[in-house]
Chains A and B, each alone.
Chain A
């Protein structure tokens, strides 16, 4: 067999390179070689230190940019909403508008800032406009009492008398705008609407004093544990309806009865914004609810009302039991979230550990729910 020429060449070359002489011998210029190597060690260490300094400088510069960016963001007009409190500024007030703060009443004028917790009161034939940094505008009619309950990303007003007209700037997913009346809650999503407290009419929505008119967008109104979407051109309650979208509660909501006696319903302010006065939109008929669905809704309403009655009576365990039954039977029903919030509140007064568990469950199910702040406070152990 002919040997492979490559193998022979490779072996020859291997032999050629194998004899490298005495590499262990002390080189003649060892001292100089070591000195040069020591210099290389020093220079390498210097380069490493310089690199570290550059990295730290870059990191610090990046941190400064982040901080500066944050400060710049904070100075943006809507940053007050994103980062903290969105204070309303009084614009063009007519005579006699006062603000009640910490039990003290004081007159407010053009440009005054109205903070969370303040209550605005307007005499008859006057109105006050609040412009918020977020772009939301609120006009409070005459003889009104409006309390600014919360003025952060979640805006909450309590309308106890008079009328309240709002043009709400488009809200982000984190923001909410809620107007609470004695017996209802109106929540908006970038819209214009009007809420008024009127004298109760037993023939209309069981005497609810709340009237809602939506000019633009869609508004959600919650009353008696039932939620209803009201679109532009619609009103709530629509007392001209022949068929009701939701069954009447088995018993009038106690809050309504309480409010009817405590609240002086005031007719809509004569100084209604022009757009409202000119509006005469037809009311869209609401589709009737099937009997079976109606009975399920009725049961849910009944359970919720019974729980609330027990709560007001001081029987928290019984109220919790009712809410448990409601949540167990109708976990996805329209009253589920409200029931979860009430249950959480009741547990907070008697069993903090269970309340915390309930709060955690609530946050999981309703991360942007109305009771988020309360739930978070329970979870973190705050007040």
Chain B
């Protein structure tokens, strides 16, 4: 667990497991190390060998988890289902992997696509960065670091209102590319569009968001306050 700098005048208690100085901090069990290299793994999956499932799971689960947590936050109620869904999607789309990027990057893209579809379906009124939107006083379901900071959450919620106000496709493109770090090709794959369309959405999304943010002086002061708080 990491400690965060606290806003001035607001003490906060952190529950930290006690441990003796010098003794190794107990850690959770780790995923087993890989037993097959990528080419062997892919060949086994493509050949329909169910025994390769364990190797595939252990190899790609971290990338899948990371992708889902970035978009929905850690501890989301649908997290486990979405992870499983994304892993299965990796199996069914294994033939599309051409080896032109690392296997983890491809799995991460598949996972982001699963989240994208989940949110678009709006079956549970899901929205990106959903855990951040929790109101003050709500028990945070997520251990997302920022969600613990009320001021940060407040700022984020304000940013979310602007993100929600622009076209959904542009918002997604901005988040996936500028925030999560996917390249345009991956963004196009995730959002099921062309690279050219993704680039166009990115440019327009940035422009619209910038205009909205510039027209919100209250947010500007919140951002300034936050910035001051971080430097202290």
Contact = CB atoms under 8 A, between A and B. Distances in A.
Nearest to A22: B28
A25 interface: yes
Nearest to B181: A14
A22 B27 CA distance: 10
B114 interface: no
A37 B88 contact: yes
Interface stretch (B6-14, B48-56, B183-191, B192-200): B48-56
Contacts of A33: 57, 61, 83-84, 87
Interface stretch (A42-50, A155-163, A344-352): A42-50
> Interface residue tally of chain B, by bracket?
35 or more
B209 to A, nearest CB: 6
Nearest to A32: B84
Interface string A32-63: 01111111111011101000000000000000
Contacts of B214: 5
Q: Is the interface of A mostly helix, strand, loop or mixed?
A: helix
A45 B92 CA distance: 9
Residue from B48, B146, B219 having most chain A Cβ neighbours under 10 A: B48
Interface stretch (B15-23, B66-74, B115-123, B133-141): B66-74
A41 B213 contact: no
Given A5-B223, A38-B53, A41-B52, A25 B2 contact: no
B223 A41 contact: no
A41 B54 CA distance: 11
A174 interface: no
Contact of A16 (B28, B62, B84, B129): B129
B64 to A, nearest CB: 9
A4 interface: yes
Given A12-B159, A14-B179, A44 B69 contact: no
Nearest to A48: B48
Q: Is the interface of B mostly helix, strand, loop or mixed?
A: helix
> Interface residue tally of chain A, by bracket?
35 or more
A23 B57 contact: no
Contacts of A24: 30-31, 62
Contact of B88 (A36, A45, A46): A36
A23 B213 contact: no
B223 A8 contact: yes
Contacts, number: 132
Contact of B146 (A10, A15, A38): A15
Contacts of B48: 41-42, 44-46, 48
Nearest to A30: B57
Contacts of B206: 6
A26 B145 contact: no
Nearest to B180: A17
A44 B92 contact: yes
B186 to A, nearest CB: 15
B220 interface: yes
A77 to B, nearest CB: 51
A20 interface: yes
Given A10-B178, A34-B54, A44-B91, A23 B145 contact: no
Contacts of A381: none
A20 B88 contact: no
A41 B45 contact: yes
Interface in B44-102: 45, 47-54, 56-57, 61-63, 65-66, 69-71, 74, 80, 83-84, 87-88, 91-92, 94
Nearest to B51: A38
Contacts of B126: none
B26 interface: no
B61 to A, nearest CB: 7
A19 interface: yes
Q: Closest 5 interchain pairs by CB?
A: A45-B48, A38-B53, A38-B50, A5-B213, A20-B69
9 contacts: A14-B179, A16-B144, A16-B152, A20-B69, A20-B70, A26-B30, A34-B57, A37-B57, A40-B87
Interface of A: 4-6, 8-10, 12-27, 29-30, 33-42, 44-46, 48
